[in-house]
Amino acid sequence: MYKKHRNPFEFEAANNLSDDEILDFYIDDYNYSRFINTTRNIFLQGARGTGKTMSLLYNSFKIQYKKALKNSKEVDYSRIGIYIPCNTPLFHKKEHLLLKDDFKASLITEHFLVLSIVNSISNTLSEITELDNISVKLSDDLKNQIEYLLGAELIKSVSFFRAMSMFSDKESTEAQKIINNQKNDDFYQNTLTFSSLVMPFLKCIKQIECLKESHFLLLIDDAHDLNIDQKKTINSWIAYRDHSQFSFKVATAESSPNFVTSTGGMILEGHDFVSVDMLKPYQNKESEFGKLAKKIILKRLQKYDINESLSDFFPTSPSFKDDIDRAREKVRKDAIEKYDGGKGSQISDHVAKYTRAEYFKSRPSKANLPPYSGFETIIDVSTGVIRNLLDPCYWMYDAELSESNDKIKLIPHGTQQSVLINRSNKLWERLEGLDKTDVDCSKDQAEQIFNLFENLMVHFKGRLMSELSEPRTVTFVITSQVKDLMEKITPLLDIAQKAQLLYTRHGKDKRTTKKVTVYVPNRLLLISRGLDPHGQYASASIKSEDIVAAAINNKKIPVPKTSGADETIQIKLFEN
C-alpha cells in the first residue's frame, strides 16, 4: 500500500520523519546549531527544501535527548528546544476573518498560537522520563499554581506535563468549536496570551531542579503560514528585552518577512534578532554545500547498506571524462602558446578556467545533449538546496528500482543522464505554464518570466561560446538599476523565486566592496539547454533595461564582444 522508505532519497517534509530518521539522516552543521542554540532571537530564512525544518527538529530537545541517550552521554538541560510547527490545519483556519472586530480576530488567533506553544512544550517534556516522573508533590504543586492562575482545572490522574498537554488541546478544541459554529461576533471569552499562559507556565517549569537554569528555544517552523496578527504577536514577543528564559528561532520561506509588532513598531535586525540565510551555508570552507551534500548522500546510502563511494555509485560517463581530458590538453597547448611557456601558475590557472568551457564549446552544434552524470554534476544542479539534491537522486534510484528488484549498487551514467534531462524538461514545462501552477502569477507574468529565462539561457550560451574571461558564468547581478524598470522586474523575480526557479545570494563586489544581490537561476534548467551547470565564481552584470527588454519584449540580452571591465562582477560570497 505505502511506498515507505524503499528509496533512500525520499524527500518528504522533515516534520513527517520519525525521531530515529532525523537522527539518522541529519548532518549536523555547526553553524546552524550554533545560531539555534544561542539565547538570541533568530530568523532562519530560506526557500522550501533548504533544511530549515531539519535544523530546527534536530536541535529540538526531544531529538537531543534521544541523541544523548543513544550515545550514553549526559543530558544537557541548559538549552531546551521546543519544536512548534505552523503548517497545521489549525493555522490555516480563517474564521477570524469573518469577525467584524479586528481586535477580537487577533485575540483568537493569538489564543491558538499560545495553546500550540504550550502543547508543544508539554508534549516535548512529557516524553522526557526524568521530567515526566517528577515527584507527585511537585507535580501537584505545579498543577495548583496553574489552576490558580488560570482558574482552570487540570486532570488529576496524569503527570503535570500530560495534564498541561490535555488542557491546551481541550482549550483549543473548545475555541475551534465556538468559532466554527458562531453566527456573529459572539466571542470566545477566555482567550489566552503569551503573558497570561506561556510565561507563567515557563516560570512553573523552572521550579523543576534540572530546569532551573534552562533557556527555552521556541523553534517556530513555517512561520510564513501564520496570519498577519500571529506574525505581529511573535514580533512583539521578540521585542521583549529579557532573553534569559526564552528566545525565538523563527523559520520562514518568506524572502521579506514582516517585522512589524502588534503595536505598530518594528523589530530591528542586529538589535532584536539575527537573520540566517539558509541558502548560504557557506559560512566557512569546512561547511560548504558540496561537503554537506556528500555527507547527506553517503549517510543515506549507508543507511540502506549501500557502502559504495559516491563516485562509484554515481559514475561519470567515460566519454565525458575522455572528452574533458582532450579539452584540457588543447587548452594547455593554447595556454603555453599564448603565454609563451607561462610563469608560475599561469598555465594551470588558465587550464582550470577554460577546460570545461572548451569542452562545451567544441561540441558539434547538432550533437545530443552532453552525457551529464557524476555526483559533482548532481551537486551542481541542486543549486545549493538540499531538496534539489535529493530529487534527481530519488528519480534515478526509482528508475533503477523499476528495472530490477536486486540491490542497487550504482546508478549507470545513462540513467543519470536521462533522469537529469527529464527533470530539467519538467522544470521547463513548469516554467512555461507558471500561471497554471503557481499562486498569484498572471498569464502575462508567466510569459514574461519564461521569456526572461529563455533569454538568460541564450545569454549564458553566448558567453560559453565566446572568448570572455568568465565564459561559464551562470548567475547574474542587475546593474544600472532604474527605479521604473526595477518596479517592472521585481514582481517577476519574486514569482520566480517563490517557484524556486531562481534563488538569490548576497555578496560583495570585490572591486567596489558594495553589497550586491546575486541572482542564481535553478541550475537544473541549464541541463536541457546544453549548458554547464558547474558555473564560475563570477556573475554576469546585466543592465535593468536589458532584463526588462528580455522579459517584456523577448529581446536577447547582449553578450559583451570582448573581455572588459563590465562583463562580469567578481563576487565574494563566502565570508568567514
Partner 1 sequence: MDKKGYNTLIAVLGWEDRFYEGIKSDLENYSFQRLILLRYQECDDFTVKSRELIENICAKNEIDLKYLEVSDLDTVEKWKVFDDYFSNEDNVGKNVLLDISTMPRDTIWSLLYFLNSLNISIDYIYHTPKSYNSDWLSKEPGKPRLLFKHSGISRLGVQTALIILTGFETERTKQLVHFFEPKLTYLGVQKGNQFNNEIRNAENHESIKGYTETKEFELDAYAGDNGFSSIKDQIDELKDSYNVIVASLGPKPTSIAMYKAFLDNPEIALAYVPAKEFNKEYSKGIGDKIFGTFK
Query: Which residues make up the interface to partner 1 (CB under 8 A)?
Result: 1-4, 7, 9-13, 15-16, 48, 87-90, 92-95, 97-98, 115-116, 119-120, 123, 165, 168-169, 172-173, 176-177, 180-181, 390-391, 394, 398, 433, 435-443
Instruction: Identify which of residues 88 and 418 has a Cβ nearer to partner 1 in the complex.
Output: 88
In the complex, least distance from residue 441 CB atom to partner 1, rounded to whole angstroms: 7
Please give the grid coordinates belonging to residue 75. Answer: 543530558
Q: In angstroms, rounded to a whole number, what is the distance separating the alpha carbons of residues 434 and 496?
A: 9
Return the axis-axis angle of helices 375-382 and 386-403, rounded to nearest 10°.
130
Instruction: Identify which of residues 439 and 565 has a Cβ nearer to partner 1 in the complex.
Output: 439
Instruction: List the one residue out of 215, 231, 197 whose CA is nearest residue 118.
Output: 197
**Residues 327, 359: contact at Cβ < 8 Å?**
yes
Instruction: Identify which of residues 87 and 193 has a Cβ nearer to partner 1 in the complex.
Output: 87
Rg of the chain taking only CA atoms, in angstroms: 27
Instruction: Identify which of residues 41 and 124 has a Cβ nearer to partner 1 in the complex.
Output: 124
In the complex, least distance from residue 131 CB atom to partner 1, rounded to whole angstroms: 17
Instruction: Identify which of residues 352 and 401 has a Cβ nearer to partner 1 in the complex.
Output: 401
Please give the grid coordinates belonging to residue 282. Answer: 557557506
Residue position matching grid coordinates 525544518: 53
Instruction: Identify which of residues 175 and 456 has a Cβ nearer to partner 1 in the complex.
Output: 175
In the complex, least distance from residue 86 CB atom to partner 1, rounded to whole angstroms: 11
In the complex, least distance from residue 322 CB atom to partner 1, rounded to whole angstroms: 34
Instruction: Identify which of residues 55 and 539 has a Cβ nearer to partner 1 in the complex.
Output: 55
Q: In this structure, is the dihedral angle defined by the CA atoms of residues 399, 402, 407 and 412, taken in order, positive or negative?
A: negative
Instruction: Identify which of residues 387 and 413 has a Cβ nearer to partner 1 in the complex.
Output: 387
Instruction: Identify which of residues 101 and 575 has a Cβ nearer to partner 1 in the complex.
Output: 101
In the complex, least distance from residue 397 CB atom to partner 1, rounded to whole angstroms: 10
DSSP 26: -
In the complex, least distance from residue 407 CB atom to partner 1, rounded to whole angstroms: 20
Question: In terms of C-beta density within 10 A (0-12 exposed, 13-18 middle, 19 or more buried), how is residue 231 classed?
Answer: buried
Instruction: Identify which of residues 414 and 433 has a Cβ nearer to partner 1 in the complex.
Output: 433
What is the end-to-end Cα distance of the chain in Å, rounded? 49
Q: In angstroms, rounded to a whole number, what is the distance separating the alpha carbons of residues 301 and 284?
A: 26
Please give the grid coordinates belonging to residue 479. Answer: 546593474
**Residues 529, 353: contact at Cβ < 8 Å?**
no
In the complex, least distance from residue 308 CB atom to partner 1, rounded to whole angstroms: 22
In the complex, least distance from residue 344 CB atom to partner 1, rounded to whole angstroms: 49
CA 194 to each of CA 112, 197, 218, 219, 524: distance values in angstroms, whole numbers, following the listed order: 11, 6, 12, 15, 45
Residue position matching grid coordinates 553589497: 515
Amino acid at the residue 282: Y
Alpha helices in 363-499 (DSSP H): 375-382, 386-403, 413-432, 434-437, 443-464, 483-498
In the complex, least distance from residue 485 CB atom to partner 1, rounded to whole angstroms: 25
Strand partners, 219: 83, 249
Burial 503-538 (b: 16+ CB within 10 A, else e): bbbebbbeeeeeebebbbbbbbbbbbbbbbbbbbbb
Instruction: Identify which of residues 13 and 410 has a Cβ nearer to partner 1 in the complex.
Output: 13
In the complex, least distance from residue 298 CB atom to partner 1, rounded to whole angstroms: 20
Q: In angstroms, rounded to a whole number, what is the distance separating the alpha carbons of residues 171 and 166?
A: 9
In the complex, least distance from residue 91 CB atom to partner 1, rounded to whole angstroms: 9
